[in-house]
C-alpha cells in the first residue's frame, strides 16, 4: 500500500508591523503622565483644605506670653502644611527676648507644633516707671503684665540705687546675686522682696523679718552673706528683748553685725 504524499509544511511568517511613532514618543508620553500625576498630587496638597494648617499647637509658652506667640504663629493658619517654611516659623519667635530656643514640626494632615523653651524669669526690675521681667543674666524679657508668668509668680524686685551702678549693670548684678542666693540657701531667697543695688553692696529687704539688710556687693560672696544673714536671724529674738532695733543691719563685715540704733540707747549711731 502506497503512502499519501504530504508536502512539507510551510510556516507562514506574518510581517511585523512597525510602530515608529509609538517607539519614538512612548518615553515622552510616560514622562508626561508622571509629571501630570505629580502636578495633580501637588495641587491636592497645596489646594485641598484637608492638608491646610488648621491648628498651631504651642508647647512651653508661658501663659503671659501666649498672645505674643500666637501673634507670630497664627500667620500660618490656612497655609499648605507641607509647604510651610519652618525656619520662618522658628525665626519669628527666636527673636523674642524671652525665648531661649524654639523648634517646629509638622503633624499630617493639618497641625503645626511649635515647641518653645522660655528663659526662666528670676526677678522683676524697675525700668523707668515700669516693671520688667529679667532672666538670670539680667536680660530684659519684657514688661511685667501683672499676671502669672509661671507657676511661681512671686519674684523679688531689683532696683538700682540712686548714684549707684547704671541700670543695665545694676540689674545684671542683682540678678546674679539672686541666682547665687537661691542656689546657696533657697529659704533665704524666699524671704527677699527687694534688692537695691549700690556701688558697694546690696540692700536686701527681708519681708518676713521686715528688715533692710546690707550685704556684700559681690555675688561670689553670697555664701558669706547668707551665713551672716542666718547669724542675724538667730540674734533677732535677743535683740528685740534688749530693745535694740531689728529693722536694719549691716552684714558686710567679717565677724560683725552692725545695727542702726538710736543714740539714746547706745550713745552712738552704730554698734
Three cell numbers, residue 264: 539714746
The CATH class of 123-266 is alpha beta
In the chain, domain spans? 49-118, 123-266
Phi, psi (deg, nearest 5) at residue 39: -65, -40
171 closest CA partner among 192, 187, 156, 188: 156
- More confidently predicted of 26 and 97: 97
- Whether residue 146 is predicted with pLDDT greater than 60 in this model: the reply is yes
Angle between helices 86-94 and 66-73 (to 10 degrees): 150
**pLDDT confidence of 270, banded at 50, 70, 90?**
very low
> The sheet that has 140-143: what strands, in order across it?
140-143, 130-134, 123-127, 157-160, 192-197, 201-206, 211-216, 248-250, 258-259
| Strand locations in 4-98 (E) | 55-59
Phi, psi (deg, nearest 5) at residue 212: -105, 120
pLDDT tens, 22-40?
A: 455 556 666 665 655 555 4
What percentage of the chain exceeds 70 in pLDDT? 72
Phi, psi (deg, nearest 5) at residue 199: -70, -25
- More confidently predicted of 233 and 41: 233
Phi, psi (deg, nearest 5) at residue 127: -130, 95
pLDDT of residue 109: 85
CATH architecture group of domain 49-118: Roll (3.10)
Amino acid at each position: 500500500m502506497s503512502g499519501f504524499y504530504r508536502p512539507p509544511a510551510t510556516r507562514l511568517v506574518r510581517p511585523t508591523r512597525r510602530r515608529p511613532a509609538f517607539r519614538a514618543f512612548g518615553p515622552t508620553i510616560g514622562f508626561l503622565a508622571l509629571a501630570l500625576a505629580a502636578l495633580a498630587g501637588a495641587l491636592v496638597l497645596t489646594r485641598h483644605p484637608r492638608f491646610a494648617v488648621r491648628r498651631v499647637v504651642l508647647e512651653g509658652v508661658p501663659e503671659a506670653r501666649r498672645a505674643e506667640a500666637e501673634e507670630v504663629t497664627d500667620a500660618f493658619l490656612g497655609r499648605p502644611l507641607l509647604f510651610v517654611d519652618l525656619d520662618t516659623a522658628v525665626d519669628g519667635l527666636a527673636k523674642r527676648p524671652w525665648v531661649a530656643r524654639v523648634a517646629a514640626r509638622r503633624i499630617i494632615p493639618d497641625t503645626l507644633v511649635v515647641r518653645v523653651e522660655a528663659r526662666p524669669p528670676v526677678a522683676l526690675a524697675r525700668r523707668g516707671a515700669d516693671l520688667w521681667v529679667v532672666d538670670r543674666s539680667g536680660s530684659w524679657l519684657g514688661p511685667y503684665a501683672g499676671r502669672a508668668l509661671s507657676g511661681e509668680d512671686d519674684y523679688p524686685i531689683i532696683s538700682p540705687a540712686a548714684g549707684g551702678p547704671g541700670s543695665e549693670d545694676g540689674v545684671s548684678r542683682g540678678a546674679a546675686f539672686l541666682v547665687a542666693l537661691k542656689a546657696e540657701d533657697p529659704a533665704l531667697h524666699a524671704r527677699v522682696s527687694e534688692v537695691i543695688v549700690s556701688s558697694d553692696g546690696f540692700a536686701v529687704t527681708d519681708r518676713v523679718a521686715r528688715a533692710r539688710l546690707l550685704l556684700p556687693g559681690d555675688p561670689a560672696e553670697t555664701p558669706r552673706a547668707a551665713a551672716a544673714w542666718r547669724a542675724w536671724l538667730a540674734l533677732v529674738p535677743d535683740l528685740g528683748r534688749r530693745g535694740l532695733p531689728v529693722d536694719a543691719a549691716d552684714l558686710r563685715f567679717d565677724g560683725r553685725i552692725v545695727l542702726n540704733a538710736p543714740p539714746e540707747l547706745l550713745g552712738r549711731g552704730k554698734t
